Amino acid sequence: MQLIAVLCVVYSLLLVGCSTMNLYYVRDAQMIPFSESDRGELTGSRPDAVKLLLNGHYVRTGKSLVLLIRKFDQGNALTVDDELYEKVTIEIQDYPLGIPIKLDSRDLRLYYSSGSSGHIARGHGVYATSGSGTLVIKAFEKGRIVVDLDLVLWATPTRAFPFDGKEVHVREVLSFEEKKVADLTPWLGIPDSSLGKEVYP
């Protein structure tokens, strides 16, 4: 009976898979303006739908604070190519401690996208650059920032689909670890010739 119970647990874990979330902040950085992000050799030849999903998340040296939220769901272990990714990149120019910053503030820029990692070349997914809500930096310690996010984003499909889009709710208190621009990977915020590297951790 114990063996059967263990096998059932293992089988359940295989079906559910597992998900990971990476949380980083980068100081003295900025998001690359979307108009500039598709001019290079690495991203210029991509389909427009793929650019909408990936090019808004690139980061370079600047004068702002950038928050990186990266989620990855491995999907069903018995299914091929059903992995999902979700990315949120937020740039904050002025970030006073404990004071709510509205999403539509001039001091804040945001890019959101999610879709299928295994089929990223097809450009299927949704993206958002605006919404409503606030974020509050609750604590700023050495090497770590705690942020209270209360955001509602309206995500639009990259292609014509039988639905208009969806609301994405980001309502969490998250702790971000410090990262340097030089240490960013394609998953976190630099372009790469391999699309897969940008949607798999």
Least confident range from 37-51, 111-125, 170-184: namely 37-51
Query: What does the DSSP 8-state code read for residue 182?
Result: G
Structure confidence at residue 146 (pLDDT)? 98
Least confident range from 46-50, 77-81, 97-101, 182-186: namely 77-81
CA distance 68 to 179: 10
Match 């998953």 to its residue by tokens. 187
Query: Quick check: 117 and 132 in contact, CB under 8 A?
Result: no
**% helix / strand / coil in the chain, to the nearest 5?**
20, 45, 35
Structure confidence at residue 9 (pLDDT)? 38
Is residue 189 scored above 60 in pLDDT? yes
Is residue 84 scored above 50 in pLDDT? yes
Structure confidence at residue 79 (pLDDT)? 54
Q: Is 65 left (phi over 0), alpha (psi -120 to 50) or beta?
A: beta
Is residue 11 scored above 80 in pLDDT? no
More confident: 14 or 134 = 134
Structure confidence at residue 43 (pLDDT)? 80
More confident: 57 or 8 = 57
Distances (CA, A) of 140 to 25, 151, 156: 11, 20, 33
Structure confidence at residue 69 (pLDDT)? 98
Structure confidence at residue 60 (pLDDT)? 97
CA distance 51 to 56: 8
CA distance 69 to 85: 11
Mean pLDDT across the stretch 86-95? 96
Is residue 15 scored above 60 in pLDDT? no
Is residue 161 scored above 80 in pLDDT? no
* CB-based contacts of 82, cutoff 8 Å, min separation 6: 75, 76, 116, 118
* Per-residue confidence band for 6, with pLDDT thresholds at 50, 70 and 90: very low
Helices (H) and strands (E) in the chain, counts: 4, 10
* Per-residue confidence band for 17, with pLDDT thresholds at 50, 70 and 90: low
More confident: 79 or 106 = 106
Is residue 80 scored above 70 in pLDDT? no
Mean pLDDT across the stretch 165-180? 95
